[in-house]
């Protein structure tokens, strides 16, 4: 990260929010080890033998490394107060290996994932973790498939479904603000309960800058999003200010 961006971050109002997030995790500690102890890690590590890497697949994510991913998703769950709220119905878009929903279940929530069936290992991990998922591909300006229910919380961590293909420059061609508007509207009107929330968490761009370009930031804010670092949080009603802390269902 460039020095100027680091200095900018140091003086941004987000630093206080960030501090609050860390303080909340610190004052309400969760033992990832207790969650890990419920997973058969020998079986998990052996899954690679049954589901080898696809040819040319990137190997950076090491989804069989449960200790790493459980830690990551415990922090995500804590930031949404899921370790301290009554049971919720959760939909996780691009659920991947299923670790986030597994952590949620440990805190008493039930949920379902949506993902493509492209990564063979995820077939094994979701089965081992007993995480239910619907196989579907999310396309721009196409409604999500009907799941027969509405949710208290819809999440997508390290969102990828907006990436269409790589340009020769190596950059992704991705959804336009109008595509996002369609998607958010579909989620708000058809998939969220009245007090429901949608949380989207994005990887930074290749140059380390935020996913939220000025045009995307404006688009998300117009839909009522609260943007905090890499995340956008939206309420079911565009006019309502969403809260990271879940108060009522």
Ligand X SMILES: C[S@@+](CC[C@H](N)C(=O)[O-])C[C@H]1O[C@@H](n2cnc3c(N)ncnc32)[C@H](O)[C@@H]1O
Residue ranges that bind ligand X, judged by CB under 6 A:
94-96, 99, 115-116, 118-119, 137-138, 157-158, 160-161
Report the residue number, 58 or 248, with the smaller CB distance to ligand X: 58
Give least dist CB 187 to ligand X, A. 14
Q: Strand 172-174 relative to strand 163-166: parallel, antiparallel, unpaired? A: antiparallel
Q: Chain-centre distance of CA 48, in angstroms?
A: 24
92 vs 152 by CB, closer to ligand X: 92
Closest approach, Cβ 165 to ligand X, in A, equals 11
Per the CB < 8 A criterion, the answer to whether 179 and 141 are in contact is yes
Kindly state the tokens that stand for 249. 């269902």
Asked if 100 and 92 count as a contact pair (C-beta separation under 8 A), the reply is yes
**Beta-sheet strands, E only, within the chain:** 89-93, 110-115, 133-135, 151-157, 163-166, 172-174, 192-201, 226-228, 231-235
Closest CB to ligand X among 3 and 60? Answer: 60
Q: How far is the CB of 4 from ligand X (least distance, A)?
A: 28
**Minimum distance between the CB of residue 54 and ligand X, rounded to whole angstroms?**
12
Choose between 83 and 201: whose C-beta lies nearer to ligand X.
201
């Amino acid at each position: 990260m460039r020095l100027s961006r680091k200095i900018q971050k140091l003086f941004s109002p987000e630093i206080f929010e960030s501090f609050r997030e860390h303080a909340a995790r610190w004052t309400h500690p969760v033992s990832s080890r207790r969650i890990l102890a419920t997973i058969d890690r020998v079986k998990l590590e052996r899954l690679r033998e049954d589901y080898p890497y696809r040819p040319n697949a990137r190997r950076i994510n090491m989804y069989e490394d449960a200790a790493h991913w459980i830690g990551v998703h415990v922090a995500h769950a804590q930031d949404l107060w899921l370790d301290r709220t009554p049971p919720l119905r959760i939909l996780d878009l691009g659920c991947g290996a299923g670790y986030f929903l597994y952590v949620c279940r440990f805190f008493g929530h039930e949920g379902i994932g949506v993902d493509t069936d492209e990564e063979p290992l995820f077939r094994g991990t979701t089965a081992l973790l007993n995480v239910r998922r619907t196989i579907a591909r999310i396309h721009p300006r196409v409604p999500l498939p009907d799941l027969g229910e509405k949710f208290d919380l819809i999440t997508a961590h390290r969102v990828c479904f907006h990436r269409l293909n790589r340009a020769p420059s190596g950059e992704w061609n991705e959804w336009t603000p109008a595509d996002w508007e369609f998607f958010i509207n579909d989620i708000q009107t058809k998939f969220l309960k009245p007090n429901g929330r949608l949380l989207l968490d994005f990887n930074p761009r290749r140059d380390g800058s935020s996913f939220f370009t000025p045009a995307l930031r404006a688009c998300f804010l117009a839909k009522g999003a609260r943007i905090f670092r890499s995340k956008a949080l939206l309420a079911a009603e565009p006019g309502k200010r969403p809260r990271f802390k879940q108060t009522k269902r």
